[in-house]
Amino acid sequence: MSRYDHTQVEPKWQAAWAEAEVFAARHDPERQKYYVLEMFPYPSGRIHMGHVRNYTMGDVIARYKSSAGFSVLHPMGWDAFGMPAENAAMATGGHPKTWTYNNIAVMRDQMKPLGLSIDWSREFATCDPEYYGQQQSMFLDFLEKGLVYRKNAVVNWDPVDMTVLANEQVIDGCGWRSGAPVERRELTQWFFRISDYSDELLSALDGLEKWPEKVRTMQANWIGKSRGLQFAFTLTAPVADFTGIEVYTTRPDTLMGASFVGISPDHPLARQLEAEREDIAEFCNECRQMGTSEADMEKAEKRGFDTGLTVRHPLDESWELPVWIANFILMDYGTGAIFACPAHDQRDLDFARKYGLPVKNAFFSLGDDTPVGNEALVPMKSEKVRFTDHFAGIEDVTGEDAVEATIRFAEGQGWGKGVENFRLRDWGLSRQRYWGCPIPVVHCADCGVVPERKEKLPVLLPDDVSFDVPGNPLDRHPTWRDCACPSCGKPARRETDTMDTFVDSSWYYARFTAPRAATPTDPAEAAYWMNVDQYIGGIEHAILHLLYSRFFARAMNICGHLPDSAREPFDALFTQGMVTHAIYLTRNAEGRPVYHYPEDVEQKDGKTVLKESGAEVEVIPSAKMSKSKNNVVDPLNIIRDFGADTARWFILSDSPPERDVEWTASGAEAAFKHLQRVWRLADDVRQRAEEAGAAGPSDEARPEDDKALEKATHRAIADVTAGIEGFAFNTSVAKLYAFTNTVAKSRASAAVKAQALRAMSQLMSPMTPHLAEEVWTMLGGEGLVATAAWPAADPAMLVEDTVTLPIQINGKKRSELQVPADMDKAGIESLAMADAAVQKALAGGQPKKLIVVPGRIVNVVV
RNA sequence: GCGGGCGUGGUGGAAUGGUAGACACAGGAGACUUAAAAUCUCCAGGCGCAAGCCGUGCGGGUUCGAGUCCCGCCGCCCGUACCA
């Protein structure tokens, strides 16, 4: 073989790894374990470059840690329940189950050629009855511990299709299929009590030191702990049983700027008024003609309705405030009612200006008594402001001090109390859909809601369902719902709601530790393998999936399924960026874009043109890969043409892992060429070594070249290892490029070169494992490189004798100094002062300041 | 709307507050070749003949020194609780 042939080499080594069972996770009490996990995929039908990137990064860590002596767990599974399967069934008439399992088979076949070090014996899909049965069992445990309950909540209701819609199925307030305006409708739904853990989930974030700061910040903001005042405004005239309106405010210090009281359209008082008055019912119904998503509600026009009711200001009996119903007030947060202070809240101000409500400053900026116009005065809470006529007797204080003073005042007078509030709501897990884990309870006319008996689990999804009409097939199944009450034995009905798919993904990491156990987890396995040492996935999961998983680990711990030490399941988290690709487009006669596949365009004379017609195309760089834009690169094509190692090498090389990476054909080719070059270099050294061996020590000895290459090898070991440890794989790759250049140019002996290349193959093995095995074997490495111990850099080989110090004059580089690495400050100073450029700048005078940072820089200020 | 992040040559990017542009792509020049491909060598931020000046989205600030820290903008991306 004179050329590296990936089509032959890659399957060969994959077979060798399988034969030796190199990637089987072994529970070995003698060795330290390492659990690396990538967020498991949804089986959409094809793997894409984003998957390749995610799993390659995990594989680098897994292989590196394995070489470093750890017993590694690196599993793979499928997040297999969810809407797309039902949508496919509706569109093509198939069954979600066949669609899903077919997709899994296809994607598994696409992943295997990547040569990932995955323990496939642990694979499962969340739609396997063995998995969701255990999930049902845990649901019953949660129920017993009071971690699940039922309450009413609103959903998006499509009045034409008579079905519940997901937020993404609501487009501009209308159902995606029917086009009918959606309505908010209330249903009784199951909830996890995640909000009981708000404080713990918040404070425990501090311990997650190996999580990105941005994710911890996002979660903290999402949990949204606040301190404020809760108190009631008294209605001047009671309505039915309502004598007042309870409000929560984080800015009680602005109470003297109150303008009106606002309540949610879903507030009990609004409901009461709705029943009495047609105009209010009409307004509330209009407010409900909207999807439930927060973004939609916040972006919608702020609208209000004056109820005509009034309340008394708590500090002034004679001050009456109007009560408005407003569409932007959420029933889920606080008490579902607020008082508005337009002067110090932009949203309140816009509302006040729109409806002609009063605007009165509660405070002013120091030294500026201009009343608020159309821009609310919202200073930082840490900034001092001047309060006017404040009841608590405060004047020039910061916002936060003012809040506390006001709370103390209200508590002292007994009309309000300081409370802590959280934005985090309980987790609604009910879904009115078929393709999910059935909620294992029974509704009995006599006994109410009764848990199914554990020995009857799993409650299996029926196979005989149809998707020809919208709605939940479980609800209209002729027999599935019918059952006997587990408590009294009388005829009863099964719950037809299934679980949110976030439930499935909230504990899969724990199941991987004992995927075939007859209980949700096996305590001994969970104790050994948990926690996940390195979790890798997309930033889009920063809040929901990760927060739900953190809650679930706590709930599982309470029920005895996880040890105390696993209440925080992910020790380290890394969020990787997307894979993007340029979009190529031309315009049709109407000016509409026509998208072209990457393989249909070429570069010509610095322009990007269509191969067929030569017409110039517009290029939109770095766009998210999307089928509709024809800019998707299929990993299988890359693997076929260049091999898995090339795909892996390129996807790691071009961008820092946390940022987006743009897939380019030229970049992939360059990666391929480089791998070929490494192979040729190894092949060449192998031949030379053999010739040298046959002819005796004829190889000309060059001790200084040998020493230089040995030093470079240790430098490479240190730098590449640091890159892997620090999740900077792109810099590891850059160091390996540089090291390849060094080896190629080196005039060291064949023996030393062979040694350098064996080290290189080890350093490359986490990234390009197939090529690494080939090179390792060619140059006499023993056994598999996959099982060889990671090389260690000798610190003595890393020290440099001399360093180059830049000399700056007034912060700009003007000269350089070569000095011994250990030279002291005084020595450097005198050398710097003697420098020609410095002499010139000083023009005989003395420097104002001389800064010497040994080993770093000299700065002369003149 | 709100919360979080990102922005460096023609391109992807490198850089513990200390020489901005490592490494690579595209480009240019050369070697080898009948020729091409492949491979190898060299050049290369912008302006300028040069000395030098200007340069990390924009505008300010802190510092001996800012891509890096702070404040204010602009643009793009992620999330926004029933997409996964």
Stated pTM of the model = 0.92
Who among residues 298-337 of A has its Cβ near strand B, under 7 Å? 298-299, 332
Both tokens assigned to A732:
């590891």
User: Does residue A624 approach strand B to less than 7 Å at its CB?
Assistant: yes
Measuring alpha carbon to C1', the residue closest to nucleotide B39 is: A677
Higher per-residue pLDDT: A819 or A37:
A37
Per-residue pLDDT of A172-183, as tens digits, reads 888 998 899 999
Whether the CB of A34 is less than 7 Å away from nucleic strand B comes out as no
What is the spatial distance, in angstroms and rounded to an integer, between the CA atom of A800 and the C1' atom of B11?
35
- Say yes or no to pLDDT of A84 above 90: yes
Residue A634: is its pLDDT beyond 90?
no
The residues, any chain, with a CB within 8 Å of residue A549's CB and separated by 6 or more, are: A505, A506, A507, A509, A569, A570
Nucleotides of strand B lying closer than 7 angstroms to a protein CB: 1-6, 11-16, 18-20, 22-27, 38-41, 53, 64-66, 77-84
- Nearest nucleotide to A86 (CA to C1') is B83
- Find out whether A192 and A544 touch, Cβ atoms under 8 Å: no
Q: CB of residue A32 closer than 7 A to nucleic acid strand B?
A: no
CA A600 to C1' B33 (Å) is 31
Higher pLDDT, A300 or A776: A776
Round to whole Å and give the CA distance between A362 and A298.
Answer: 26
Q: What is the pLDDT of residues A721-776, one digit of tens each?
A: 999 999 999 999 999 999 999 999 998 999 999 999 999 999 999 999 999 999 99
More confident residue, A440 or A186: A440
User: In this predicted model, what pLDDT tens digit does every residue of A102-142 receive, in sequence order?
Assistant: 999 999 999 999 999 999 999 999 999 999 999 999 999 99
**8 Å CB contact between A47 and A635:** yes
Looking at residue A637, what is its pLDDT?
Answer: 86
Spacing of A852 CA from B17 C1' in Å: 15
Cis previous bond, A421, omega within 30: no
Q: How far is the CA of A647 from the C1' of B7 (A)?
A: 27
What is the percent of chain A with per-residue pLDDT over 90, rounded to a whole number? 65
CA dist A549 and A542 (Å) reads 11
A667 CA vs B43 C1’ separation (Å): 22
CA-to-C1' distance for A717 and B4, Å?
36
- Round and report the angstrom distance from CA (A699) to C1' (B34): 37
Beta-ladder partners of A620: A583
Q: Hey, how many other C-beta atoms are within 10 angstroms of the C-beta on A318?
A: 6
Q: How many helices (H) and strands (E) does chain A have?
A: 25, 36
**A853 CB contact with strand B at below 7 Å:** yes
pLDDT level of residue A292 (50, 70, 90 thresholds): confident
Shortest CA to C1' contact from A605: nucleotide: B27
Which residues in range 81-140 of chain A are in contact with strand B, contact meaning CB within 7 A of any of its atoms? Answer: 81-84
Over residues A296-304, mean pLDDT? 88
Q: Considering Cα of A334, then A337, then A341, then A346, what sign does the dihedral take?
A: positive
Residue A445 structure tokens: 């006319």
Beta strand A607-610 with A802-809: parallel, antiparallel or unpaired? unpaired
Distance B52 C1' – A818 CA (angstroms): 25
What is chain A's mean pLDDT, rounded? 91
A 565-584: CB within 7 Å of strand B: 578
Residues 454-513 of chain A in contact with strand B via CB under 7 angstroms: 500-502, 505
Contact A165, A156 (CB under 8 A): yes
What are the residue ranges of helices labelled H in A145-290? 198-203, 213-223, 268-276, 278-287
Give residue numbers, 152 to 191 of A, with CB < 7 Å from strand B. Answer: 155-156, 164-169, 187, 189
pLDDT of residue A803: 84
ipTM: 0.94
Residues A379-384: what's their mean pLDDT? 79
The pLDDT of residue A621 is: 66
Cα distance between residue A1 and residue A303, in whole Å:
76
Q: Is the pLDDT of residue A1 over 50?
A: no
Nucleotide nearest to A194 (CA to C1'): B81
Given this model, what pLDDT does residue A698 score?
46
DSSP A507-519: SHHHHTTSTT-SS
Per-residue model confidence (pLDDT) at position A613: 76
**C1’ B35 / CA A604, Å:** 22
Angstrom distance, A855 CA to B52 C1': 29
Which residues in window 645-674 of A are less than 7 A from strand B by Cβ? 653-656, 659-662, 664, 666-667, 669-670, 673-674
- Tens digit of each residue's pLDDT (9 = 90 or more) over A483-527: 999 999 999 999 999 999 999 999 999 999 999 999 999 999 999
Per the model's pLDDT, the better-predicted residue between A701 and A618 turns out to be A618
Reported for A834-840, long-range contacts at CB under 8 A and 24+ positions apart, including other chains, are A835/A807, A837/A807, A837/A809, A838/A807, A838/A809, A838/A814
Report pLDDT for A366: 81
- Closest protein CA to C1' of nucleotide B16, residue: A856
The protein residue nearest B52 (Cα–C1') is A814
Cα dist. A279→A51, A261, A265, A388 in Å? 54, 19, 13, 39
What Å value separates CA A520 and C1' B79?
Answer: 31
Average pLDDT over residues A599-615: 69
Chain A 403..462 CB hits on strand B (< 7 A): 423-425, 427-428, 430-432
Distance CA A186, CA A126 (A): 29
Say if residue A705 is exposed, middle or buried (CB neighbours under 10 Å; 0-12, 13-18, 19+): middle
Q: Is A380 exposed, middle or buried (0-12, 13-18, 19+ CB in 10 A)?
A: exposed
